[in-house]
């Protein structure tokens, strides 16, 4: 006996329940992304430009907007010991006028031989903070952790990733609310492909600030990454669309178990062996049962001979509210005395379930190739 899918694309309802949390997530994530770009990124970028264009202070000028350089001596150099893996160290300084100060630099202390107690240095202030240190004897300039614009790239990266998640959630909101009737699948490609594309653009946006000089160039890098991502999504969507046109029925080769084994699985339907909380199946030669015991030793509910398998297919979101599909399961549609019964188990365990039914019912339990149009049975 063969049957058309009970939830065909023409009859599947819209999943508005899934649209609501997606809408909330989209609004929050997009607002956070916009805030990151408008405030932290813009502020850090403006501060970096102001620092790079700042003039050297005139003698005696202690204004904050110019670069003021003073001579100092190192009192001590101490590595920073905290949970941050990036190596840093403190320079404790005594300036020419006797002022004690300190600043933090990137790198390992042992790799900077000039950073020794008593060594002379020149430190440059800008807006009240030491921004870089000049070491003698050609050791060069080392910027401190207070270098302006140091957080610009991190804020841009965070904004890109959060924005990508927001776009993915926005598409999920739109899809579940308006077009989820097109496919009853719990994980439709119409939802998955755009989400992966948005995350791909987010990854491009996370890398962009490290390959560009400023947000403008980083946005150009993202724009250059859009065509490849769209092309990849288009090819993937075409392949999945053609595959879906062949139907939802999955051909599975049964495997008769040598002995009893316990696999993850559930039974849904108005039958005595569909026990709430029973998330394991015991399969064996000519035997199938559901149980709440992970070991399968107790609390078994045997599946009777009246259970007739019809076909194997992907999970539908309409199968059961709150099913929590992980994308690794298949569903075996069955019938027991006119009652619709669904058996859910992992893809790798479905052959054992079919094998247990086949060994019980004989050759009639073998999985068959789907007929044209996707209306054939995956198991009979």
Let me know if residue 335 belongs to a domain. Answer: yes
Structure confidence by residue, pLDDT tens digits, 188-208: 899 999 999 999 999 999 999
Kindly list the distances between the CA atom of residue 290 and the CA atoms of 17, 344, 361, in Å, as whole numbers in the listed order: 30, 11, 18
d(CA 345, CA 5): 19
Final residue of a structural domain among 186, 218, 245:
245
Return the minimum-mean-pLDDT range out of 39-53, 113-127, 196-210, 348-362.
348-362
The answer to whether residue 172 sits within a structural domain is yes
Task: Tell me, yes or no, whether 144 lies in a domain.
Answer: yes
The answer to whether residues 131 and 215 belong to one domain is yes
Residues 120, 182: one domain?
Answer: yes
**Helix, strand, coil in percent for the chain, rounding step 5:** 40, 25, 35
Domain assignment of residue 371, yes or no: no
- Shared domain for 93 and 212, answered yes or no, is yes
Residues 118 and 213 in one domain: yes
Specify the length of the chain in residues.
Answer: 380
Answer yes or no: do 214 and 270 share one domain.
Answer: no
139 domain-assigned: yes
Write out the two tokens for 280: 């394991």
Same domain, 179 and 282: no
CB 117 within 8 A of CB 77: yes
Please give the residue that has the higher pLDDT: either 268 or 10.
268
Straight-line distance from the first to the last Cα atom of the chain, in angstroms, rounded to the nearest whole number: 7
**Residue 54, CB-side half-sphere exposure with 13 Å CA sphere:** 23
**Per-residue pLDDT band at 319 (split at 50, 70, 90):** confident
Task: Flag the least confident range among 57-71, 349-363, 364-378.
Answer: 364-378
- What integer is the mean pLDDT of 118-142? 91
The band of 376, judged by pLDDT with boundaries at 50, 70 and 90, is: very low
pLDDT value for 321:
53
Q: Please indicate whether residue 365 or residue 139 has the higher confidence score (pLDDT).
A: 139
197 and 273 in a single domain? The answer is no
pTM: 0.76
Closest by CA position to 91, among listed 70, 128, 116: 116
Single out the residue in 210, 245, 280 at which a domain terminates.
245
Q: In the predicted model, is pLDDT for residue 379 greater than 60?
A: no
Angle at 59 (CA atoms; ends 129, 148), nearest 5 degrees: 25
CATH number for 330? 2.30.29
Q: At what angle do helices 152-174 and 189-207 cross, to 10 degrees?
A: 170
Task: Give the Cα separation of 305 and 288 in Å (integer).
Answer: 10
Query: Given a cut of 80, is residue 373 above it in pLDDT?
Result: no
Cβ neighbours of residue 277 closer than 8 Å, sequence gap 6 or more: 292
Single out the residue in 195, 211, 245 at which a domain terminates. 245
Same domain as 180, residue 316: no
Q: Are residues 88 and 181 in the same domain?
A: yes
Contacts 24+ apart (CB under 8 A), 73-77: 73/118, 73/119, 73/120, 73/121, 74/115, 74/116, 74/117, 74/118, 74/119, 74/120, 74/121, 75/100, 75/117, 76/117, 77/109, 77/112, 77/115, 77/116, 77/117
pLDDT per residue as tens digits for the range 283-311 = 999 899 999 999 988 999 999 989 999 99
- Domain match, 200 and 287 both: no
Mean pLDDT across the stretch 173-190? Answer: 87
Whether the pLDDT of residue 242 is over 50: the answer is yes
Q: What range does the domain containing 173 cover?
A: 9-245
234 and 284: one domain? no
Helix (H) or strand (E) holding 122: strand 120-126
Question: Residue 373: inside a domain, yes or no?
Answer: no
374 within a domain of the structure (yes/no): no
d(CA 331, CA 316): 9
Domain total of the chain: 2
Does one domain contain both 215 and 320?
Answer: no
Query: Does a structural domain hold residue 236?
Result: yes
């Amino acid at each position: 006996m063969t049957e058309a899918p009970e939830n065909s694309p023409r009859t599947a309802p819209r999943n508005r329940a899934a649209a609501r949390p997606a809408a909330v997530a989209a609004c929050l994530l997009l607002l956070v992304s916009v805030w990151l770009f408008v405030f932290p990124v813009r502020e850090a970028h403006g501060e970096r430009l102001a620092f790079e264009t700042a003039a050297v202070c005139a003698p005696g000028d202690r204004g904050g907007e110019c670069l003021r350089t003073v001579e100092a001596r190192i009192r001590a150099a101490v590595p920073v010991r905290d949970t941050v893996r990036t190596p840093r160290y403190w320079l404790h300084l005594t300036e020419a006028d006797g002022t004690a100060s300190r600043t933090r630099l990137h790198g390992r202390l042992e790799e900077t031989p000039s950073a020794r107690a008593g060594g002379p240095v020149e430190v440059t202030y800008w807006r009240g903070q030491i921004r870089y240190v000049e070491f003698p004897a050609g050791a060069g300039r080392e910027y401190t952790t207070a270098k302006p614009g140091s957080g610009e790239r991190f804020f841009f990266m965070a904004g890109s990733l959060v924005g990508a998640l927001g776009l993915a959630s926005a598409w999920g909101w739109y899809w579940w609310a308006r077009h989820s009737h097109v496919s009853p699948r719990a994980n439709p490609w119409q939802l998955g492909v755009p989400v992966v594309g948005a995350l791909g653009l987010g990854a491009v946006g996370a890398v962009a600030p490290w390959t560009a000089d400023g947000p403008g160039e980083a946005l150009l890098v993202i724009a250059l990454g859009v065509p490849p991502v769209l092309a990849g999504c288009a090819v993937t969507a075409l392949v999945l669309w053609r595959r879906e046109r062949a139907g939802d029925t999955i051909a599975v080769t049964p495997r008769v178990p040598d002995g009893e084994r316990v696999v993850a699985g559930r039974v849904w339907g108005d039958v005595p062996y569909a026990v709430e909380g029973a998330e394991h199946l015991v399969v064996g030669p000519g035997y199938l049962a559901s149980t709440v015991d992970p070991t399968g030793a107790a609390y078994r509910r045997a599946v009777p001979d009246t259970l007739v398998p019809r076909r194997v297919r992907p999970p539908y979101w309409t199968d059961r509210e709150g099913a929590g599909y992980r994308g690794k399961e298949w569903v075996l549609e069955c019938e027991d005395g006119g009652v619709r019964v669904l058996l859910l188990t992992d893809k790798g365990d479905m052959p054992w379930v079919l094998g247990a039914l086949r060994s019980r019912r004989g050759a009639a339990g073998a999985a068959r190739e789907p007929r044209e149009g996707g209306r054939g049975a995956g198991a009979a």
